Structure 1
């Protein structure tokens, strides 16, 4: 259990799925923390000093010691504050959870990002490739309330990227990447997530988030011209 004297600070950005997943874990554990909003276009000296390798958020500062990369941070949080565990205790189940978490970040996220900024056949191909990957998550959810089983867990926290970033981006890109008729289990899972108080507290407000996504996409279009 964490002691009150511990200093926990999160260098993050309000609209980042990687930053928000760390907030979910800290909130679930009941860990008090200070949130330091970072400008990712004008990186602070503290961020550059704390994460000199990638120079990216999120970074967790625990008693002044920096931990970078969101998946690493989640495991660190789970190891440090052992109440309300987010990773399974069984070694096989832990390995499986790590596998699916990396699948979300290294395959689903990377592929879905190709939908943004593409047009015509290239966009259609990126949508289909993303759906092919999501079909694997859809299958994994059959018979489960959460990707972690009966309750919110490590993979669910990581996959909020799908629920509240990818699925919101649909409104902006004008393509239903995750249509309910194709992915009923994923949509059921999203509803289950929204019944969890910690999730409702830690996801970005939808209207403000959509405005940010639109502005971000417009900025990317201008840079590509």
Structure 2
């Protein structure tokens, strides 16, 4: 009996949850599972990065739910640092490239799952790519931020945006000894909440010592002042 082939593009939470569920449904003799992840980590909690920065999480590995080796032990061919560069829908195959070696190839599939996630909004502002400007989405981002904080501890930090991650990062930076200002285009933090609840969040942040500037858009990033 010929086994089916499942290909998953993206090896973080969604992709590997799909892979694990598929493996629980069918064993290796019935279903071949190949997953491609261009990053260095699989199955990790991006939502936990602010708590890692704050020191509540003792280390990066505590945010990883399952390592690539653990996935492979369950019969999932997880290929790290491998980017899918082309989909051949008619031929039911994907083209991939190993980022470390440059090796390229095609892998066929019967079923395909795209779990690549999304890119964070990074507005095209002057200075947005300057040194000292950090995004927080991946474990690599978190490590880069921690490395930068360890080099210049206890200064000033500005957080642009007051959604869940912005609020959590503001608290994390405050706990690391930074004077923190949050700049938000909305009048109150946490736009997903009702305005009265957002006002309570605002008041709590202010009571902690975080400066919250609402109804304000960032137009430029200057890093030489």
| TM > 0.5 fold call | no
TM-score, normalising length: structure 2: 0.29
Bigger proportion of residues as helix: 1
TM-score, normalising length: structure 1: 0.29
Bigger proportion of residues as strand: 2
